[in-house]
Amino acid sequence: MHFLNAIILVLPLALASPVAPGCGTVQDKTGLGQTLLGDNQCHDIGAKAKSWSVSDDCICVAFNAGGCSDTDPRTWEFVTGGHTGVDLPGGRVQNYKCFTNMVLGQQWVMKFVATYNPKNLKNN
C-alpha cells in the first residue's frame, strides 16, 4: 500500500515535468554527440560542431556566436529542417535553436530568404 501511495504522489510530478522534444543530433569534432532540443531556446553546443542531423517536423538554426541573435545576420550560419543531415564546414557553429512549432521555424526561414536573397545583396 505504501508503494502505491508513493506512485500516486510522484506520478503528477512526473507528468507535469516538461521535456523538450528531440530534433535530431549534433556532433562535435571529437565525434561526441548530443540531442538537438526543440524548445525554441538558444543552446550552446559546448564545442564547435562538425555535423548535425535534423529530424522531421523540426527546423533548426545554427549560429557562429553566442546568444543566438535574432537580429544580427553575421551570426547566422544556416537554417535547415525536416530529415536533413548537414556537414558543418569550418567549425564555426557553436550555438543553435530548434523549433517544433512550424510557424516559428518558418519565420526563421523567411529571415534567411530576406537577408540572403541575391536581389537584396548589394555589390560594394
Domain of 39 in residue numbering reads as: 21-118
In 17-116, which ranges are continuous DSSP H helix?
Answer: 102-116
Whether 2 is covered by a domain: the verdict is no
- Whole-prediction pTM: 0.76
Torsion sign, CA atoms 6, 8, 9, 15: positive
Band of residue 19 on the pLDDT scale cut at 50, 70, 90:
low
**Strand 33-37 relative to strand 59-63, pairing:** unpaired
Band of residue 36 on the pLDDT scale cut at 50, 70, 90:
very high
Arithmetic mean of pLDDT, 38-48 = 90
Whether 39 is covered by a domain: the verdict is yes
Give 66-122 pLDDT, tens digit per residue. 789 999 999 998 888 887 888 877 778 889 999 999 999 999 999 999 998 766 544
d(CA 32, CA 66): 20
The residue assigned the cell 555535423 is 51
Whether 14 is covered by a domain: the verdict is no
State the total domains in the chain: 1
Mean pLDDT over each residue of the chain, to the nearest integer: 80
Whether 104 is covered by a domain: the verdict is yes
pLDDT of 18 higher than 70? no
Q: Tell me, what's the pLDDT at 21?
A: 86
- The DSSP element (H or E) to which 81 belongs, if any, is strand 76-81
Q: Tell me, what's the pLDDT at 20?
A: 74
Which is more confident, 110 or 65?
110
Whether 8 is covered by a domain: the verdict is no
Whether 10 is covered by a domain: the verdict is no
CATH number for the domain spanning 61: value is 2.60.20.10
